[in-house]
Amino acid sequence: MAAVEMTRVENDTRLWTGHATRYGLTLVFAGAFDFWYRRRVSTHGVGLLKLKEPGEVHRDVRVHAPVTAASLAISAAAVEAVAVACGRAKVPHFAVPVTQGGGRAEALALRLHDAVAAGDRFGQESLLVETLAALWEDYGEAPRAERVERSARAVRRVREYLLENWRGEVTLDAMAAAAGRSKFHVLRLFREEYGLAPYEYVTHLRVAQARLLLEAGAPAAQVALNVGFYDQSQLHRHFKRITGTTPARYAKDARAGAGRAAAGAG
């Protein structure tokens, strides 16, 4: 997997929901939309950067105008390496879900986007360092202090349970037992914290893993079973709903991208 990967949408009016598996920067070139993240709704438009961190959920709630945008997905290893290069003991936490616009970070992110699109590896590596450093300087903060309220501990236990068991059978009884709370409270608290019901969260985890397996060349039927779906048709339905494309098309595009990368390296 590349350190930075880019996806682009043109005149899109769909409402997307996603569980971030990597760090992300999204640039909007046209249009605007509202999204839910960290218990609040924010607006993302032209000239702003939407910021993502692994393990968190973003959910679009309204499209103001058709959106043309590009998202840069950055591996955690790459971000950690940049933090070390910048002399930071820990990877800073983004204090805001969307930037204010008009600053150095936005300009650098646009140049990073151009370097990724052009396949300029040297430019990409250099601009990734500069962009993240600017973002941390303008919008970073130390990692949030862990909350010790009972409800926060309960939600963390549920998430840990889901991260450990998402490939197999997940039950509401087991989640309630892990949290030490009632089923009703588990569902309510989890949705409040992460923006998705637990079963939706598990589906996103499964689709994220399915993408990796498809990129590695695994057949869709086997992928479906490996990530915990009943069969290939269930994988197809959820994969297309979440990613906007089918497993077969995604695998084909991944093979084509790998072929282009190999040809370029040669």
What's the CA dihedral at 80, 93, 70, 245 to 10 degrees?
80
- The verdict on pTM exceeding 0.75 is no
Residue 261 has a pLDDT of 57
CATH architecture label of 4-141: Sandwich (2.60)
pLDDT for 258 beyond 60: yes
Is residue 101 pLDDT above 50, yes or no? Answer: yes
206-229 per-position pLDDT tens digit: 999 999 999 999 999 999 999 999
* Letter string b/e over residues 136-148, b meaning 16 or more CB atoms within 10 A of that residue's CB: beebbeeeeeeee
- pLDDT tens track for 160-188: 999 999 998 888 889 889 988 888 788 88
In the predicted model, is pLDDT for residue 91 greater than 90?
Answer: no
**SS3 track for the chain:** CCCEEEEEEEEECCCCEEECCCEEEEEEEEEEEEEEECCEEEEEECCCEEEECCCCEEEEEEEEEEEEEEEEEECHHHHHHHHHHCCCCCCCEECCCECCCCCHHHHHHHHHHHHHHHCCHHHHHHHHHHHHHHHHHHHEECCCCCCCCHHHHHHHHHHHHHHHHCCCCCCHHHHHHHHCCCHHHHHHHHHHHHCCCHHHHHHHHHHHHHHHHHHCCCCHHHHHHHCCCCCHHHHHHHHHHHHCCCHHHHHHHHHHHHHHHHHHHC
189 pLDDT higher than 90? no
Task: Using the structure block, give the residue that is written with the tokens 């692994």.
Answer: 54
User: Which residue carries 């910048």 as its tokens?
Assistant: 86
What CATH class is the domain 150-254?
A: mainly alpha
What's the pLDDT score for residue 15? Answer: 93
CA distance 37 to 12: 20
Q: Does pLDDT of 78 surpass 60?
A: yes
Q: Domain map of the chain by residue range?
A: 4-141, 150-254
Other C-beta atoms within 10 Å of 109: how many? 26
